């Protein structure tokens, strides 16, 4: 594995560690510390995610136009500036304003990192995206484990820790990736241009279809850090135990990788089958939430959810990388990231509305329905791809 990918992995682990101090606590902070309703908390997260959607698309386009380093610097600097403001001004409405700017900046960073990973180690296939995913989840495990403890003392310390880790991320990228250049794809000859255009159109339709299911699944997934977070507080589950759920999530992603990789090699050798199995497990995980009222029951549902995301989340950017025409890798990764972010944007508002109006039981039923629809779109996403291309894009390399 290239040295540059190691640097990127360490940097993204730092980035996500800082973010994980904050993001599981967003709804709790707005709802309990700032005294706003769940619907208002959802709107704040919607602003953050809406800015991230714009950042995702901008980051992908910037990667294709000006390269990875400059694109990443734009996102990092914007986020750091907002974090400085958040340390000193985190009341209402300053919190919502700075969180929106953070959404834009971090939204640029993530698709750039994914496109960087694919460009730095193209022969690695899924392994490049899987290892970046694992690195990010090391950050989730560490950040969420410490975040609940720190938040019990002071939310200001949460904001400060996030800023310090982002500064470390900035310095690592400046000194580690400043001179890394990604080769630009050559333009096709005129005779082949039309064939390339037709294939690109089919690939784009396939990606959009796949991402519809990805979007629906993210609407369901994000409830764990929004409505379900508030629901655990209503059930008098301590904040530290809720934070422990995300520690379980991150630790399982890191520690269970060898076992899961072996299982995928043996039983899911094709990436489509891998995604279908993963989405089916998502359905089971959300079904387990119905009737859950203790920490142990939520922990079991989280374990099942984590297995599902370990299978699905790295597979989506892998498919995007394979489908992307030359010179469009950044844009395709940006679209994938913006789809996930759109789910995170709409999910809190939709989930908060359902929870406020008809209760959590109905919300859990809706989550099962959404994840079932994800199975359907994944089953049909590749129907219009050329048969040869379809076959070539089925095999997945697992590392």
Residue 223: per-residue pLDDT: 94
Residue 72 lies in a domain: yes
The tally of domains found in the chain comes to 1
**Which pLDDT score, from 0 to 100, does residue 141 have?**
76
3-state secondary structure the chain: CCHHHHHHHHHHHHHHHHHHHHHHHHHHHHHHHCCCCHHHHHHHHHHHHHHHHHHHHHHHHHHHHHCHHHHHHHHHHHHHHHHHHHHHCCCCCHHHHHHHHHHHHHHHHHHHHHHHHHHHCHHHCHHHHHHHHHHHHHHHHHHHHHHHHHHHHCHHHHHHHHHHHHHHHHHHHHHHHCCCCCCCCCCCCHHHHHHHHHHHHHHHHHHHHHHHHHHHHHHHHHHHHCHHHHHHHHCCCCHHHHHHHHHHHHHHHHHCHHHHHHHHHHHCCEHHHHHHHHHHHHHHHHHCCCCCCCHHHHHHHHHHHHHHHHHHCCHHHHHHHHHCCCCCHHHHHHHHHHHHHHHHHHHHHHHHHHHHHHCHHHHHHHHHHHHHHHHHHHHHCCCCCCHHHHHHCCECCCC
pLDDT for 70 equals: 92
Is residue 370 one of the residues assigned to a domain?
Answer: yes
- Is 48 a domain residue? yes
Rounded to whole angstroms, how far apart are CA atoms 150 and 85?
20
Confidence (pLDDT) at 80: 94
On whether residue 185 sits in a domain, the answer given is no
Q: What is the pLDDT of residue 123?
A: 77
- The parent domain of residue 277 ranges over 3-179+192-392
Q: What is the pLDDT of residue 191?
A: 46
Confirm whether 187 is domain-assigned: no
- CA-to-CA distance for 365 and 376, rounded, in angstroms? 17
∠ Cα 286 215 127 (to 5°): 90
Look at residue 398 in the predicted model and tell me its pLDDT. Answer: 46
Q: What is the pLDDT of residue 179?
A: 78
Residue 186 lies in a domain: no
| C-alpha span between 123 and 119 (Å, rounded) | 9
Q: Are 378 and 279 in contact (CB under 8 A)?
A: yes
Q: Roughly how many angstroms between the first and final C-alpha of the chain, as a whole number?
A: 11
Does the pTM surpass 0.85? The reply is no
* Residue 34 confidence (pLDDT): 85
pLDDT of residue 41: 82
| 399 domain-assigned | no
CA distance 304 to 252: 10
- Helices 155-177 and 3-22: crossing angle in degrees, nearest 10, is 170
Domain contains 341:
yes
Q: Which residue positions in the chain have pLDDT lower than 50? A: 190-192, 392, 396-399
Q: Any idea what the CATH number is for the domain that residue 148 is in?
A: 1.20.1250.20
């Amino acid at each position: 594995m290239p040295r540059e990918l190691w640097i990127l992995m360490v940097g993204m682990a730092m980035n996500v560690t800082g973010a994980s101090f904050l993001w599981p606590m967003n709804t709790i902070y707005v709802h309990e510390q700032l005294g706003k309703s769940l619907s208002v908390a959802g709107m704040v997260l919607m602003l953050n995610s809406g800015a991230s959607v714009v950042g995702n698309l901008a980051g992908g386009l910037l990667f294709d136009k000006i390269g990875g380093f400059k694109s990443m610097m734009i996102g990092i600097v914007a986020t750091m500036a907002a974090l400085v403001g958040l340390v000193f001004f985190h009341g209402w409405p300053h919190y919502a304003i700075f969180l929106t700017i953070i959404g834009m900046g971090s939204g640029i960073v993530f698709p750039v990192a994914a496109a960087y990973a694919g460009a730095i180690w193209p022969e690695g296939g899924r392994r490049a995206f899987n290892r970046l995913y694992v690195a990010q989840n090391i950050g989730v495990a560490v950040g969420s484990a410490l975040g609940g403890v720190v938040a019990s003392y002071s939310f200001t310390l949460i904001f400060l820790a996030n800023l310090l880790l982002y500064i470390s991320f900035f310095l690592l990228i400046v000194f580690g990736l400043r001179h890394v250049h990604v080769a630009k794809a050559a333009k096709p000859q005129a005779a082949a241009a039309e064939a390339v255009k037709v294939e690109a159109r089919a690939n784009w339709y396939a990606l959009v279809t796949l991402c519809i299911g990805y979007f629906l699944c993210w609407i369901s997934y994000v409830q764990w850090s929004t409505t379900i977070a508030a629901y655990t507080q209503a059930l008098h589950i301590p904040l530290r135990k809720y934070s422990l759920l995300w520690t379980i999530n991150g630790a399982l992603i890191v520690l269970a990788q060898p076992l899961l990789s072996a299982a995928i090699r043996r039983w899911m050798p094709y990436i489509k089958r891998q995604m279908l199995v993963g989405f089916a497990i998502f359905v089971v995980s959300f079904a387990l939430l119905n009737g859950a009222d203790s920490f142990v029951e939520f922990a079991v549902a989280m374990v099942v959810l984590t297995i599902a995301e370990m299978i699905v989340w790295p597979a989506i950017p892998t498919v995007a990388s394979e489908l992307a025409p030359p010179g469009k890798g950044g844009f395709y990764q940006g679209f994938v990231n913006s789809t996930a972010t759109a789910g995170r944007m709409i999910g809190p508002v939709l989930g908060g509305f359902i929870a406020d109006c008809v209760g959590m039981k109905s919300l859990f039923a809706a989550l099962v329905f959404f994840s079932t629809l994800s199975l359907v779109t994944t089953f049909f996403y590749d129907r219009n791809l050329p048969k040869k291309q379809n076959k070539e894009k089925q095999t997945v390399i697992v590392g």
